[in-house]
């Protein structure tokens, strides 16, 4: 069902784009222009990875309107896929939370609507962020090569990836088991992959170092937007796309609406969301208390008659009390 959902998301977005706009927007037009040639750098506004990928698509299928968007929506599919991998790691026993984590992407205006008329490198950046988190969470198991590849994708996708990478590494170093994994000598594998993949572009940046400062200043300029306008923009994005996407999600995962965990305490059985029955052990006394809703006082009062008889007998034997 996960594959079905990913396919549905990609197909829906692709159809929505093809039938909504018949022209290239600014970001897509820029990508088409730059991807005509393979270079180590295309100016200092953006890293080159997205242009390289589009150049490869054109080599395989020829320059076309459809090929341009096949790459974009394939990256959207990868975004959903890595979101699922992350949710499976974070919520291994709760399918409902995993499903909610995947569906939460639909609440992002950039993912739900704006992607159709803007964004190229930002989509690749989203994939890189999710890949990096996925690799980092699994680093104890040894995927240092994968971690290096994820970092390389991020660094070559968008320069702002560094603003994500630095705090996430500092946070990981504050946790003992992640700190051990990051300080393991196998991290040299990760660094080697990053160096191998990124060195040509870093050399290009070094050669263009004189103009890097100006570009950084432009990137750090903050353009303010009114809070009300931003809120209305988000509502429009959800209205235009998320509603249909939620219907698609419900269609792809129908079991979420009617399947729940069921606990049969008398029979000591648990039925999970998939319908699998699991048995469990519980002490007879605890089972009795739970079935009858008894706290400590209520349990004591069950022996009220015995307590009364004891007090009557005790008063006859020790009347001096």
Angle between the N-to-C axes of helices 176-183 and 161-173, in degrees from 0 to 180, rounded to the nearest 10: 110
Range list of β-strands (E), the chain: 262-264, 269-271, 277-279
CB atoms within 10 A of CB 227: 8
The pLDDT tens digits of the residues spanning 173-209 come to: 999 999 999 999 999 999 999 999 999 999 988 887 7
Nearest-angstrom CA–CA distance, 16 and 28: 16
Nearest-angstrom CA–CA distance, 190 and 147: 6
Cβ pair 58, 27 in contact under 8 A:
no
The pLDDT tens digits of the residues spanning 129-178 come to: 999 999 999 998 989 999 999 999 999 999 999 999 999 999 999 999 99
Nearest to 282 by CA among 263, 298, 260, 306: 263
Q: What percent of the chain has pLDDT over 70?
A: 79
* Mean pLDDT across the chain: 81
The pLDDT tens digits of the residues spanning 245-302 come to: 566 656 655 555 555 678 888 888 888 766 788 888 888 888 888 888 888 888 888 8
Domain boundaries, the chain: 2-258, 262-317
Most confident of 18-22, 72-76, 152-156, 282-286: 152-156
Nearest-angstrom CA–CA distance, 230 and 183: 42
Cβ pair 277, 271 in contact under 8 A:
yes
């Amino acid at each position: 069902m996960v594959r079905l959902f990913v396919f549905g998301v990609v197909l829906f977005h692709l159809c929505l784009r093809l039938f909504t706009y018949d022209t290239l927007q600014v970001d897509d037009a820029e990508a088409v222009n730059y991807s005509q040639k393979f270079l180590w750098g295309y100016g200092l506004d953006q890293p080159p990875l997205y242009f390289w990928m589009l150049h490869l698509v054109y080599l395989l299928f020829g320059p076309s309107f459809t090929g341009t968007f096949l790459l974009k929506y394939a990256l959207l599919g990868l975004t959903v896929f890595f979101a699922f991998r992350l949710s499976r790691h974070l919520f291994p026993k709760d399918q409902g939370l995993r499903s909610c984590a995947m569906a939460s992407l639909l609440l992002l205006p950039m993912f739900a609507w704006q992607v159709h008329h803007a964004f190229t490198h930002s989509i690749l950046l989203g994939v890189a962020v999710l890949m990096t988190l996925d690799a980092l969470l699994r680093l104890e198991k040894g995927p240092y090569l994968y971690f290096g590849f994820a970092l390389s994708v991020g660094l070559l996708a968008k320069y702002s990836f560094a603003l994500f990478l630095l705090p996430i590494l500092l946070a990981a170093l504050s946790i003992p088991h992640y700190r051990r994994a990051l300080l393991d000598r196998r991290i040299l594998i990760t660094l080697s992959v990053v160096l191998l993949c990124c060195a040509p572009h870093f050399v290009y940046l070094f050669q263009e170092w004189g103009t890097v400062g100006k570009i950084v200043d432009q990137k750090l300029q903050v353009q303010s937007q009114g809070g009300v306008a931003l809120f209305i923009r988000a509502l429009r994005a959800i209205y235009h796309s998320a509603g249909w996407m939620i219907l698609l999600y419900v269609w792809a995962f129908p079991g979420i609406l009617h399947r729940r965990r069921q606990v049969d305490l008398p029979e000591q059985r648990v039925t999970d969301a998939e319908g699998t029955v699991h048995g469990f052990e519980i002490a007879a006394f605890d089972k009795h208390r739970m079935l009858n809703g008894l706290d400590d006082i209520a349990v004591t009062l069950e022996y009220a008659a015995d307590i009364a008889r004891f007090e009557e007998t005790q008063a006859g034997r020790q009347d001096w009390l």
